[in-house]
Amino acid sequence: MISCENLVKFYLDKKVIDNVSFSVKPGEILVATGPSGAGKSTLLRLASLIENPNQGIIRIDDKEFKFDSKNQQKVREQFPKLGVVFQNLFLWPHLTNRENILLPHTTINTQEANEFDNLISMFGIGEFIDKYPNQCSLGQRQRVALVRAFLLNPKYLFLDEITSSLDIEQIGILLNYLIVLRNKGVGIFLITHFLKFAKIAADQILFLENGNIIEYGKKDILITPKTERLKSFISGLDNIII
């Protein structure tokens, strides 16, 4: 289980994450949502140990990482057990999509080769697998980044706005695959603005604003929100006057 306790993060003097605690169990999907600038991506970066919080404790299974002003040492040994797909993808531009996916695998066994073929066909990236990232559309690059992360068989997955450039069909495929991963015991922390996706995929919802948790609980909170803020957030589209 990944458990984050009292995470605090400052950028210069601004507190962007304010005493946030949550957990992601294996076989569970936690969806973080909230308005732009709420601190969702920062929270993902902290929980995945990409960035250190200024204060707080992060436990990953039996490992505990305590951060304060004295301990700000980079933690990298948890990768690739923790898989991350960044909002900006960060595919290596000098490598083809195939090389991007396979570079982390010095040797590839039969099972991985089958998994590779399966993912390539599932996400329909065979057509542009030997192209360079900048020769592909954003949606295509997003799928390559996802396959790169999936093929590493992470125990926990952190996905930042991964549906932003996918078409409805691809979102459906991704959703199905995330459910397969969840059933295999992978813990998933996912950021999305796509509430329908959240309603289907999530086991838990974390609604964040200004670095604070406004609501956190089972996915029912998207149907019956307890706070006015979440109610107003999810009814955003209803208020549009045409």
Partner 1 sequence: MNSFEILYNYRADFLVGLTVTLKLCLLVWGIGLLFGFLIGYAGSKFKYSVGLPSKIISFILGGIPVLVFLFWLHYPFQFWLGVVIDGFYTAVAALSVINTFLVADIVRTALNNFPNQYILAAEVCGLDKKTIYRKIQLPIIIRQILPGILFTQVAMLQSTLFASLISVEEIFRVCQRINSSIYKPVEIYSALAILFLMICLPINGIGYWIKKKYSRDFSEN
**Contacts with partner 1, residue ranges (CB under 8 A):** 48, 50, 76, 79-80, 82-84, 86, 88, 90-94, 103-104, 132-134, 138, 141, 148, 152
Sign of CA dihedral 40, 183, 152, 140: negative
The maximal CA–CA distance of the chain, rounded, in angstroms, is 57
Would you state the structure tokens that stand for residue 17, as one six-digit string? 């994450």
Smallest separation (angstroms) from partner 1 to the CB of 153: 11
Smallest separation (angstroms) from partner 1 to the CB of 73: 14
Smallest separation (angstroms) from partner 1 to the CB of 77: 9
Phi, psi of 132 (to 5 degrees): -85, 155
Nearer to partner 1, 51 or 167 (CB): 51
Nearer to partner 1, 125 or 234 (CB): 125
Smallest separation (angstroms) from partner 1 to the CB of 62: 19
Nearer to partner 1, 79 or 216 (CB): 79
Nearer to partner 1, 91 or 222 (CB): 91
Cα–Cα distance, 124 to 129 (Å, whole number):
9
Nearer to partner 1, 33 or 48 (CB): 48
Determine the residue type at 137: S
Q: Which segments within the chain are labelled E, that is strand?
A: 2-11, 14-24, 29-33, 55-60, 63-67, 82-85, 156-160, 187-191, 204-209, 212-218
Please count the CA atoms within 13 angstroms of the CA of 229 that sit on its side-chain side.
14
Smallest separation (angstroms) from partner 1 to the CB of 105: 9
